[in-house]
Chains A and B, each alone.
Chain A
């Protein structure tokens, strides 16, 4: 974990690296989240100042998009597709069993901080559903055995 001044320095580097882009806010937010795992609160005034936006505008953009998180996720993230094609292959039932096994609902993290469960609407794996993404890795025809993959 970086201390706050190191964090501020790193965010400044990211902001500099994106100078010159047209409409740079999403690439900047993605880069900061890739670096820290979430968007730290200290980043918001820094971004706002660099892009001559208000803090409210930056916050508004962050809160609009499902991908951006303002608090760290669990050590593992399971994303399960909830869209129609996966539903026709039993995605709802699989999600129900995974929720029961983890003891959490959508958008929640297990109390030990191990797993966060997120819905996703389509991974483009619609002919081999139910589909999932576990820590960035794609899984086709998944079932509740996914849970074992994130055991520690």
Chain B
């Protein structure tokens, strides 16, 4: 009997480790030989822990599985109360175009044999036979843009580093995925770590870099463990070595270190303070050397682009948003999780059809797209197609493609206040609009909460100052959630003085 139980943080947080122990004990008691494989998550969080039993027909899913459901796995599987049928046939799986996440949830994340059997290293092998310029051209032609949020064309960044003079260059993976509603980086690292390693190795070939770093946030203990194991295994197998080697570095709880220059300072062992640009990190990055800083998903999308070709990847998407995007549907949602598809679905399709509306069953009030620095979208904007320019055109951003769904009990003034409070806590302190502006923002929103509507123009002006005057996206984008809340939900900001006391 072969059984898959995810090691993904979500499955673990919902009891997967206890299930493993219970399954082993039950198998022992019955004298049945069981092989348990810890896989990544399929991304259907409402079904976690999702246990899969290998049958002749394919992998049969059972979930969300509790300890009481374990003995039933040794009986008539078709009659099991949590039976879901073949996992591949579930509508959530069938609706997706899994390019970057093709192996996540499918393979044993730490098995190189599994990885190779599912197309792993085909892209790297192809890259080895190409020139630096050819690799860069392939990535450029794919239309891949930075998945961390900024959306800068990956190939152009690589070209700058590739052509920069320098005896030592670096590939730095930004795995400081601190935005609420985002977990694609985590799932990829936990479910298919060799994919990230392969992507970084290809980047190394393209840019002439021999050293890579993954800056991984400390809040992700499972991902840290899996990535460290994967790097060790890859090194033992000769995938990593003197030609290209890498280290996993752990962050220390500072949100701003997701900003690339702050990340580089942190990686150098300094305070995670933002650097002024120029110089670009591509020319003077880690230790002052030419450095590629890419998000996990950007780098992990490179192997499939190299494997199947730029044209295959570019065929998906809309406008200037090419390829696929792993949507992370979260918050107060019925069917939450990771859903990889081509750009272009409307926000309403994502929230209502894929996500199934709220978990509470109440109406959706707003959706924050792109993390704590993203705008809140009301249902009246649900016809917005999911793409970089399309969201920018509605005064929003797609960021790292996380969506926080909120029901009608949500107080948007409180959410706006939280955005300013968060910015005040996490500001690196280097620039005044962010350091001081966020504190003044909290105070100004508190005036509104007390019914002082004269604070509205002050808040608007403050947001404008932060947006235009901040050094990085923390201060510069905090106005998005604040102003979108104020613009789309004015009733929540119109407190009467009597009610506010």
What is the interface of chain A, defined by CB distance below 8 A to chain B?
A: 21-27, 29-30, 51, 60-61, 64-68, 83-89, 120-129, 131, 133, 136, 138-141
List of A residues within 8 angstroms of B422 by Cβ: 121
Q: In the bound complex, what is the Cα–Cα distance between A67 and B272 (angstroms)?
A: 13
Number of A-B contacts (CB under 8 A): 151
Q: Is the CB of B269 within 8 A of A138?
A: no
List of B residues within 8 angstroms of A122 by Cβ: 177-180, 182, 219
B316 in contact (CB, < 8 A): no
Q: Is the CB of A126 within 8 A of B183?
A: yes
Q: Is the CB of A27 within 8 A of B249?
A: yes
Q: Is the CB of B330 within 8 A of A67?
A: no
CB distance from A45 to the nearest CB of B (A): 17
Option from B271, B287, B329, B359 in Cβ contact (under 8 Å) with A89:
B359
List of B residues within 8 angstroms of A131 by Cβ: 13
Given A26-B252, A30-B250, A87-B418: A140 and B404 within 8 A (CB)?
A: no
- Complex: chain A residue closest to B180, CB-CB: A83
Q: Is the CB of A123 within 8 A of B336?
A: no
B441 in contact (CB, < 8 A): no
List of A residues within 8 angstroms of B269 by Cβ: 23-26, 51, 61
List of A residues within 8 angstroms of B255 by Cβ: 121
Which residues of B (421-462) have their CB < 8 Å from a CB of A? 422, 426, 428
Q: Is the CB of B10 within 8 A of A88?
A: no
CB distance from B369 to the nearest CB of A (A): 11
Given A125-B13, A126-B331, A129-B331: A88 and B250 within 8 A (CB)?
A: no
CB distance from B340 to the nearest CB of A (A): 15
Given A67-B253, A138-B9: A85 and B181 within 8 A (CB)?
A: yes
Stretch at the interface among B79-87, B92-100, B106-114, B405-413: B405-413
Interface flags, B245-260, vs A, CB<8A=1, else 0: 0010111111100000
Q: Is the CB of A84 within 8 A of B13?
A: no
List of B residues within 8 angstroms of A85 by Cβ: 180-181, 330-331, 402, 404
Q: In the bound complex, what is the Cα–Cα distance between A24 and B266 (angstroms)?
A: 10
List of B residues within 8 angstroms of A120 by Cβ: 219, 253
Q: Is the CB of B10 within 8 A of A127?
A: yes
Q: In the bound complex, what is the Cα–Cα distance between A148 and B186 (angstroms)?
A: 29
Q: Is the CB of A22 within 8 A of B268?
A: yes
- Complex: chain A residue closest to B219, CB-CB: A123
List of A residues within 8 angstroms of B220 by Cβ: 123-124
Given A122-B180, A129-B331: A140 and B249 within 8 A (CB)?
A: no
Q: Add 15 more A-B contacts to A127-B331, A128-B14, A138-B221 (CB < 8 A).
A: A51-B269, A64-B273, A67-B218, A85-B330, A88-B332, A88-B404, A88-B410, A122-B182, A124-B9, A125-B10, A126-B328, A127-B330, A128-B13, A136-B221, A140-B14
Q: In the bound complex, what is the Cα–Cα distance between A125 and B338 (angstroms)?
A: 11
Given A85-B331, A140-B10: A23 and B219 within 8 A (CB)?
A: no
Interface flags, B335-372, vs A, CB<8A=1, else 0: 01100000000000000000000010000000010001
Q: In the bound complex, what is the Cα–Cα distance between A125 and B273 (angstroms)?
A: 27
Q: Is the CB of A66 within 8 A of B271?
A: no
Q: Is the CB of A84 within 8 A of B221?
A: no
Q: Is the CB of A23 within 8 A of B13?
A: no
B77 in contact (CB, < 8 A): no
B27 in contact (CB, < 8 A): no
Option from A51, A60, A61, A84 in Cβ contact (under 8 Å) with B418:
A84
Q: In the bound complex, what is the Cα–Cα distance between A65 and B256 (angstroms)?
A: 10
Option from B329, B410, B415 in Cβ contact (under 8 Å) with A127:
B329
CB distance from A104 to the nearest CB of B (A): 19
B297 in contact (CB, < 8 A): no
Q: In the bound complex, what is the Cα–Cα distance between A115 and B12 (angstroms)?
A: 23
List of B residues within 8 angstroms of A21 by Cβ: 247
List of B residues within 8 angstroms of A24 by Cβ: 269
Q: Is the CB of A128 within 8 A of B252?
A: no
